[in-house]
Amino acid sequence: MLIVERSRIEEILADLDLLPLMEEAFRGYSAGLATVPPVGELLLQRGEVHIKYGAVAGDDYYVIKIASGFYENPSLGLPSSNGMMLVFRQDTGEPEAVLLDEGHLTDVRTAAAGAVAARALAPPEVERIGVLGTGVQARLQVRQLAPLFETREVVAWGRDPVRLAEYGADLAGHGFEVESAASPAEVAAAAGLIVTTTPTTEPLLAATDIRPGTHINAIGSDTAEKQELAADVLALADVVVADSIEQCLTRGEIARALAAGTIAPRKAIELGALLAGEADGRTAPEQISVFDATGVAVQDIAIATAVAEALASE
């Protein structure tokens, strides 16, 4: 059994084309090829731990992922994310690899899923990318969008001015020009593609903030308690897409809108079905679309399998 440190994992990721991997994972999930049990969740006073696991029919491996978020850690000089992925052989159950990624694989696969959704749903012309949040996901999401859209203009909002300035400096090193916004509403007024990446439990954007033609990647709300979009945003949206309808019935933006009675369950379509051409996405430039990303184990399976296969081929 291999024990693989984050530095080696990052080297392997540099050679992987992640978007096709994520697209295949979502299509397979919506086609019923994956066994994905309910998310294991441990909510602690200062953080949260998610356990996601599953297997895809025909794969060589099954994967168990442990990932945590401790959002006060940056004030202690520690990363907010941590974790590992455990890779086992499907045919024998033997452990193949322990990927000590420190949560990096989860961060990267989440950003790649956002890019997949944006490619499928965002308006054809994006003048600016709007971002709510200043953490790891706020950075990776924008960097994953870079190959898909010509714009390098970002308008961003964060609660901490110091971290917002650091965020701008970091993205400047990747070729982006970041303008700071005074409020989430100001971000929405300036951007046709918005990425929300915060762990807030109080909505940051309302329907009145959203301009026609906007696409929103709602990334941060991955538990039953979190909510970045007011329920009326999903009611306003012409297209509402879930990474997993089953998961989004109990967590994320769709769950909160369902609980508020602003949408019916049938309004949501699944990303995999959209990618397979079995559901319609954006059909007109003025339409508003929302992607609700709660994080599905097939994403972990796809990225961990790709790393394990690269290691096995060495």
User: Residue 250: is it exposed, middle or buried by C-beta count within 10 angstroms (0-12/13-18/19+)?
Assistant: middle
Question: Which residues fall within 8 angstroms of residue 105, CB to CB, at 6 or more apart?
Answer: 9, 13, 65, 85, 99, 300, 303, 304, 307
DSSP letter (8 states) at residue 76:
G
Three-class SS of residue 24?
Answer: helix
The proportion of the chain whose per-residue pLDDT surpasses 70, expressed as a percent, equals 100
Would you say 224 and 255 are in contact if contact means Cβ atoms under 8 Å apart? yes
What are residue 300's phi and psi, to 5 degrees? -65, -40
pLDDT band at 314 (very low <50, low <70, confident <90, very high): confident
Query: What confidence tens digit (pLDDT) does each residue in 118-151 have?
Result: 999 999 889 999 999 999 999 999 999 999 999 9
Domain boundaries, the chain: 2-106+298-312, 121-295
Three-class SS of residue 186?
Answer: helix
Query: What confidence tens digit (pLDDT) does each residue in 166-187 have?
Result: 999 999 999 999 999 999 999 9
CATH number of the domain located at residue range(s) 2-106+298-312 in this protein: 3.30.1780.10
Query: What confidence tens digit (pLDDT) does each residue in 267-308 have?
Result: 999 999 999 999 999 999 999 999 999 999 999 999 999 999
pTM of the model: 0.94
Angle at 24 between CA 255 and CA 12, to 5 degrees: 105
Q: Is the pLDDT of residue 5 over 90?
A: yes
- CATH value of 121-295 in 1.10.357.10, 3.40.50.720, 3.10.20.90, 3.30.70.20: 3.40.50.720
Query: Can you point out the beta strands (E) in 70-165?
Result: 81-89, 95-100, 129-132, 153-157
